[in-house]
Amino acid sequence: MTVAFVLGGGGVRGAVEIGMLQALLESGIHPDVVVGTSIGAINGALVASDPTPAVIERLLDAWTSPEANAVYGDSLFAQFTRLVKTKTHLNSPAPLQHLLERALGADTTFEDLAVRLRVVAASIERAAEHVFESGPLIEAILASASVPGLLPPTRIGDEHFIDGGIVNSIPIEQAVAVGATTVYVLQVGRIETPLVAPKSAVDTARVAFEIARRHRYARDVATLPSGVALYVLPSGGGLEGDDSLMSYRRMDTVRRRIDAAYDASRVFLADRGLGAETTSPVVERARESKRGDETPRADEET
């Protein structure tokens, strides 16, 4: 059995992935491969460097550090000034780079990690998905987390990269491609919210954006190969207000997000007998059939 942790994108909502990771690792579930996009690439790199419960403290330290607050923490005046100067982005990538270097080491490579890591980014020149899995680690994570408009594209060689969520927000396919037979999806909560027909111009834009980033997840779930067990961990809710225009700046509810996801994920794993005595894919598929497929199947996040 090859176990994969797939960590989706979602900005500050990505704090929920810490709670999910804590539940998984405390239950004795450890990854053979980690795949991450955007904030999922950041969280994923840390767990790939130390796939034990001890990594939770490192994640909490990274999320509550001054660098984390500085990633999107510039004053609105500073952001406006930078946008006027660069014409492309509001924030400097320097705080995020400093955070990554402090958490992972400035010269760390993929080959230095304890388990295999795959990082998804979007190539501008090729208009295509790109997977990093060898060589320098920090620049690959920066590429995956370069949110358009907020951070500048990351140049690597002759190519420019932006946020991996643009092309693959919950990269299940990239886990299956390297032989994962049990996939745990750590997602930030948007796939748990059903979409409805819009009733305003703002709703229209939001729904269109959600469809654009969720359709890949829906396809990956629908075409999951036979013999691969998929478990989508719950976020625990508690994300009220995170759809506002300025939600990407909100760091004040990190601990609440983590705790809610941890509690919900512990229950999820216990209900399915996952952990020290893991059920087989066949048993899980039988349970899903009886439950009428309660696992979310058609949504996603950046």
Instruction: Kindly state the tokens that stand for 277.
Output: 């005595």
**Residue whose pair of structure tokens reads 């358009």 in the numeric block:** 148
- 171 close to 6: Cβ distance less than 8 angstroms: yes
Tell me the whole-structure pTM to 2 decimals. Answer: 0.85
Beta pairing class for 182-186 and 154-156: unpaired
When the pLDDT of each residue in the chain is averaged and rounded to a whole number, the result is: 86
Output the CA torsion sign for 54, 64, 236, 176: negative
pLDDT bin (cut points 50, 70, 90) of residue 172 is: very high
Q: What is the mean pLDDT of residues 258-280?
A: 84
State the pLDDT at residue 286.
Answer: 35
How far apart (Å, rounded) are the C-alpha atoms in residues 121 and 140?
8
Nearest alpha-carbon partner for 191 in 101, 77, 296: 296
pLDDT, tens digit (0-9, with 9 covering 90-100), for 55-86: 999 999 998 887 777 776 666 767 668 777 87
DSSP 116-145: EEEEEEEETTTTEEEEE-SSBHHHHHHHHT
**Strand pairing partners for 33?**
4, 116
Show contacts of 128-134: CB within 8 Å, 24+ apart: 128/167, 129/164, 129/167, 129/168, 130/159, 130/161, 131/174, 134/109, 134/110
Does the pLDDT at position 247 exceed 60?
A: no
Residue 34 main-chain phi, psi, to 5 deg? -120, 135
State the pLDDT at residue 136.
Answer: 98
- 186 close to 5: Cβ distance less than 8 angstroms: yes
pLDDT, tens digit (0-9, with 9 covering 90-100), for 184-227: 999 998 898 889 999 999 889 889 988 988 899 999 999 999 99
Range with the poorest average pLDDT among 168-177, 226-235, 289-298: 289-298
How far apart (Å, rounded) are the C-alpha atoms in residues 212 and 68?
28
